[in-house]
A and B are shown apart, each in its own frame.
Chain A
Amino acid sequence: MVVKLYGQVTAACPQRVLLCFLEKEIEFEIVHIDLDTFEQKKPEHLLRQPFGQVPAIEDGDFKLFESRAIARYYATKYSDQGTNLLGKSLEHRAIVDQWADVETHYFNVLAHPIVINLVIKPRLGEECDVVLVKDLKVKLEEVLDIYENRLASNRFLAGDEFTMADLTHMPAMRYLMGIIDINRMVKARVNMNRWWEEITARPAWKKLMVMAGS
């Protein structure tokens, strides 16, 4: 019996979990939840995820939601196979957690509204909040400077190895890299560019991109 992931393969949060499954060589099944028709808000899905979001997983009787929690659970459960995503010691694990939490609190808080305004709203024919986006981009430059500094002395965010800290950034980063001036911001920073090139060359990422139809 394989774990079922409820979500859309093109959406960032389900991709976080899928990438974890691929890095850990875990078999899975995707059950498509159609975000365009708001299937995530319907009663059947609300039983799995009471906030009406994706993803959620069902693994036999075990159920979980929140993509980062799901990824941490599987990284722990399958610690002996595939890529080690959680560090080599307690202290290292805590630094992995630290940079993974940085993704939530410093990176995603900017990336999410940027993507909503510059990618999603145009698709829905809605107006982009130009003033907000300008302000978000300024803040993003400041955050990227801190990442740049970190990656100047560390190959990956938590040290020498690819971990959950890097993985958790990838789905939203990919959307940001499709926006011209943000792409330039990243490429202008030597270490960020090096980091992004290296982590997107990983086989698991390439498989995910094929699955997502990119």
Chain B
Amino acid sequence: MVLTIYAPFFASSKRAVVTLVEKGVEFETVNVDLLKGEQNQPEYIAIQPFGKIPALVDGDYKIFESRAIMRYIAEKYRSQGPDLLGKTIEERGQVEQWLDVEATSYHPPLLALTLNIVFAPLMGFPADEKVIKESEEKLGEVLDVYEAQLSKNEYLAGDFVSLADLAHLPFTEYLVGAIGKAYMIKDRKHVSAWWDKISNRAAWKEVSEKYALPV
């Protein structure tokens, strides 16, 4: 039985999808259109009670939260594809640290920019200019720390690509694309080099093209 991932066209799901592709795992997808509110349908709520995406179903086993799914896939398929968790528990600790930085410091302001700039016009709610300004400032401060970190290490957790780097791909694609703030990445030498490296990985290119949201 093949593993199924829900809502592959949306950014949070792509964290899980790119991990599956990096690890060479076969999977199927089920579309859930957030723009039509399909995540609130009872059949989906039965899988993800908060009505958010993604979710992964593997036979009787269900799991949600994109980074929990990433960890599960990286661990289950440890022996194939790149080792996205590091080779020692100390390296894994660094991976978890930067995965948490993405979740708690990078993602919130970037999500605010995504909602206000990309989705507000699509869904007919007003963009909050004050939130946009504050979010850009906060994200800039976080990227300054990334610039320092990436001047010492090729990737966030060290000299190996990990879940921490991959977790940044989907929403950063919005930042350099539909949000129109590519300068935030390009103006920072080491962040820019890191972005070029991770966004040009074969797995991401495949996911990005195959599941491009038609916006």
Binding site for B on A (CB under 8 A): 50-51, 62, 64-66, 68-70, 72-73, 76-77, 90-91, 93-95, 97-98, 100-102, 104-106, 109, 143, 146, 149-150
Q: Which chain A positions have C-beta within 8 A of B89?
A: 73, 76-77
Q: How far is the CB of A49 from chain B (nearest CB, A)?
A: 10
User: In the complex, which of the residues A50, A102, A146 contacts B65, with contact meaning CB atoms closer than 8 Å?
Assistant: A102
The answer for the CA separation of A102 and B149 in the assembled complex, in Å, is 28
The stretch from B29-37, B101-109, B196-204 touching chain A is: B101-109
Asked if B96 and A68 sit within 8 Å, CB to CB, the answer is: yes
The answer for the CA separation of A70 and B61 in the assembled complex, in Å, is 28
Asked if B96 and A69 sit within 8 Å, CB to CB, the answer is: yes
Asked if A90 and B75 sit within 8 Å, CB to CB, the answer is: yes
The answer for the CA separation of A143 and B71 in the assembled complex, in Å, is 24
Asked if B100 and A94 sit within 8 Å, CB to CB, the answer is: no
* Also in contact, A101 and B65, with CB within 8 A (given A69-B93, A106-B50, A150-B49): yes
Q: How far is the CB of B63 from chain A (nearest CB, A)?
A: 5
Chain B residue with minimal CB distance to A95?
B63
The answer for the CA separation of A188 and B49 in the assembled complex, in Å, is 21
Q: How far is the CB of A168 from chain B (nearest CB, A)?
A: 11
Q: Which chain B positions have C-beta within 8 A of A101?
A: 65, 67-68, 103
The answer for the CA separation of A97 and B64 in the assembled complex, in Å, is 10
Chain A residue with minimal CB distance to B70?
A97
Asked if B49 and A98 sit within 8 Å, CB to CB, the answer is: no
Asked if B75 and A93 sit within 8 Å, CB to CB, the answer is: yes
Chain A residue with minimal CB distance to B95?
A69
Asked if A104 and B97 sit within 8 Å, CB to CB, the answer is: no
Chain B 47-79 interface mask (CB, 8 Å, partner A; 1/0): 001100000000001011101110110011000
Whether B178 sits at the interface, judged by CB under 8 Å, is no
Q: Which chain B positions have C-beta within 8 A of A50?
A: 145, 148-149
What total of A-B pairs shows CB separation below 8 Å?
Answer: 79
Q: Which chain B positions have C-beta within 8 A of A95?
A: 63
Q: How far is the CB of A12 from chain B (nearest CB, A)?
A: 13
Asked if A97 and B61 sit within 8 Å, CB to CB, the answer is: no
The answer for the CA separation of A62 and B89 in the assembled complex, in Å, is 11
Q: Which chain A positions have C-beta within 8 A of B71?
A: 94, 97
The answer for the CA separation of A57 and B171 in the assembled complex, in Å, is 30
Asked if A69 and B99 sit within 8 Å, CB to CB, the answer is: yes
Asked if B97 and A69 sit within 8 Å, CB to CB, the answer is: yes
Q: How far is the CB of B202 from chain A (nearest CB, A)?
A: 26
8 Å CB interface, B139-184 against A:
142, 145, 148-149
The answer for the CA separation of A102 and B101 in the assembled complex, in Å, is 16
User: In the complex, which of the residues A66, A77, A150 contacts B96, with contact meaning CB atoms closer than 8 Å?
Assistant: A66
Chain A residue with minimal CB distance to B93?
A73
Asked if A90 and B76 sit within 8 Å, CB to CB, the answer is: yes
The answer for the CA separation of A188 and B69 in the assembled complex, in Å, is 33
17 further A-B pairs in the complex, CB-CB below 8 A; given A94-B63, A101-B103, A146-B49:
A50-B149, A51-B105, A62-B90, A69-B93, A69-B100, A73-B89, A73-B92, A73-B96, A91-B61, A93-B72, A94-B69, A95-B63, A101-B68, A106-B50, A146-B50, A149-B49, A150-B49
* Also in contact, A51 and B65, with CB within 8 A (given A68-B96, A73-B96): no
Asked if A97 and B145 sit within 8 Å, CB to CB, the answer is: no
Q: How far is the CB of B171 from chain A (nearest CB, A)?
A: 14
Q: Which chain A positions have C-beta within 8 A of B96?
A: 66, 68-69, 72-73
The answer for the CA separation of A127 and B46 in the assembled complex, in Å, is 41
The answer for the CA separation of A105 and B51 in the assembled complex, in Å, is 13
Q: How far is the CB of A103 from chain B (nearest CB, A)?
A: 10
Q: How far is the CB of B69 from chain A (nearest CB, A)?
A: 8
The answer for the CA separation of A70 and B93 in the assembled complex, in Å, is 7
Q: Which chain B positions have C-beta within 8 A of A69?
A: 93, 96-97, 99-100
